[in-house]
């Protein structure tokens, strides 16, 4: 960082403001385009899976799928003004509740198919 400041490629202000307070910009600055794509995949894949289940005709698991849509979209909105995936607590919460809701949706769907 100091090397680029000395060359005049970036401003010295960067040393003061090193946290972008946006998970998307943070992923881009830390991991490049692959980090950004990884973050989008971690958010958009569960969102798509839950959204497809919300559109299903069976109302027995629609509420759990809608909870998954709310959870994932809530993290997506939070990531605009904070970096929720920087803390291990929020990562564990996101993964745990996504897994729980996905398991509930899948279990209810399988039970419906068996009966």
Residue 12 has what pLDDT? 81
Distance, CA of 72 to CA of 22 (rounded, Å): 16
H-type alpha helices, 55-114 = 62-81, 88-114
User: pLDDT band at residue 10, thresholds of 50, 70 and 90?
Assistant: confident
pLDDT score, position 58: 79
| Residue scoring higher pLDDT (112 or 34) | 34
Confidence class for position 4, pLDDT limits 50, 70, 90: confident
To which residue do tokens 């929720």 refer?
84
Examine the pLDDT at 1 and tell me if it is beyond 80. no
User: What is the CB neighbour count within 10 angstroms for residue 84?
Assistant: 17
Q: d(Cα 17, Cα 13) in Å, to the nearest integer?
A: 6
Domain ranges of the chain: 20-114
For the chain, what percent of residues have pLDDT higher than 70? 97
Please answer whether residues 90 and 78 qualify as being in contact, where contact means their C-beta atoms are separated by less than 8 angstroms.
no
pLDDT 10s digits, 37-59: 999 999 999 999 999 999 986 78
Alpha-carbon gap, residue 98 to 82, rounded angstroms: 20
């Amino acid at each position: 960082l100091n090397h680029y400041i000395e060359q005049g490629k970036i401003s010295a202000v960067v040393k003061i403001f090193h946290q972008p307070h946006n998970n998307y910009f943070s992923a881009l600055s830390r991991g490049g385009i692959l980090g950004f794509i990884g973050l989008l995949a971690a958010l958009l894949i569960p969102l798509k899976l839950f959204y497809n289940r919300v559109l299903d005709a069976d109302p027995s698991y629609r509420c759990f799928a809608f909870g998954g849509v709310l959870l994932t979209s809530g993290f997506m909105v939070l990531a605009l003004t904070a970096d929720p995936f920087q803390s291990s607590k929020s990562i564990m919460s996101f993964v745990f509740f996504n897994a729980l809701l996905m398991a509930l949706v899948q279990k209810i769907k399988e039970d419906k198919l068996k009966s």
